[in-house]
Amino acid sequence: MRVSDEVAEALATGRPVVALESTIISHGLPQPRNLQVALELEDLVRQAGAVPATVAVLDGVPRVGLDKDGLDRIATEPGLRKLGFRDLAPAAALGLSGATTVSGTSFLAARAGVRVFATGGLGGVHRGWTTVQDESADIDTLSRTRITVVCAGVKSILDVPATLQRLETKQVTVVGYRTDEFPGFYLHSSGEPVDWRVETPQEAAGIMRAQDTLGGLDTALIVANPVPADLQLDPDLHDRVLAEGLRAAEERGVTGQAITPFLLEYLVEGTGGASLEANLAAVRGNTRLAGEIAAAWAAG
């Protein structure tokens, strides 16, 4: 694994660092906007007083912290794989390049010593789990990785109540940031309650310290940060287009790993791009908050 000089120096001197995933750059946005957003997110981390560490795998080498050339490659190189935790070893052995998902980013960031990670939304339990038993690897990785993930909940195409139940079973702590309800990714709220609430980055950092003091399982802390109500996707539009997308997926036989990109793209098209803007609003807010939490954590 190669840690950039800037990130390595920050970790060695106790400065705050925030990990950023790279799949939003390679697979989540069109060119050239994807590179613009990647640079914007890194800048938001710096504005919060932290060092950004975008994570990816280039030519078989896991990278924690990318320079401009590395970001350019993730944004423009064709055929990049999406790499979860299980894919990291094959990519390394075969010398391949790819963008890291939540599970891949969490693992590599934690291995490098980065404690805080900002993303859009987590993966989780898919609808119809009792039939297909489709569950994101994010949950299992977070159940055994000591990292704090700032997110806007889980993708709204998933079974949110089942995902929260699964996180509870896996002993993953979920706290709402200034909210008593779990966010709905594109939506301010999913309508599902959360058991714990924090009001400040300092309180979130305090939970991180308590995790370390108590010891036990190396599980993650999820800080669920809702997209502002005035920037969310219109709830009625969201529900209508998602229902249409689920019917279309069933009619076309879209299943397994293909279902998530299919539904996300269906939402982008069906909402005239509004879902993408809500997604970006959430990612920006999560990145700012992650920088603030990392700074509070580093302050001790």
Look up residue 137 and give its amino acid: A
Instruction: Give Cα separations from 56 to 108, 153, 226, 293 (angstroms).
Output: 9, 23, 26, 23
Look up residue 282 and give its amino acid: A
**Quick check: is 68 catalytic?**
no
**Quick check: is 250 catalytic?**
no
Q: Is 82 marked within a binding site?
A: yes
Instruction: Give Cα separations from 21 to 41, 257, 260 (angstroms).
Output: 11, 19, 17
Q: Are 194 and 180 in contact (CB under 8 A)?
A: yes
Write down the catalytic residue from 42, 135, 155, 292: 155
Q: Is 170 marked within a binding site?
A: no
Identify the residue whose tokens are 């069906």: 270
Write down the catalytic residue from 6, 21, 68, 199: 21
Q: Is 138 marked within a binding site?
A: yes
Residue 159's φ and ψ, nearest 5 degrees, are -90, 100
Q: How far apart are CA 183 and CA 178, in angstroms?
A: 11
Q: How far apart are CA 248 and CA 250, in angstroms?
A: 5
Angle between helices 259-270 and 274-299 (to 10 degrees): 120
Q: Is 137 marked within a binding site?
A: yes
DSSP state of 156: T
Which residues does the annotation mark as catalytic?
21, 155
**Residues of each annotated binding site:** 82, 102, 134, 136-138
Binding residues for Mn(2+), as ranges, are 134
Q: Which residues are part of a known binding site for substrate?
A: 82, 102, 136-138
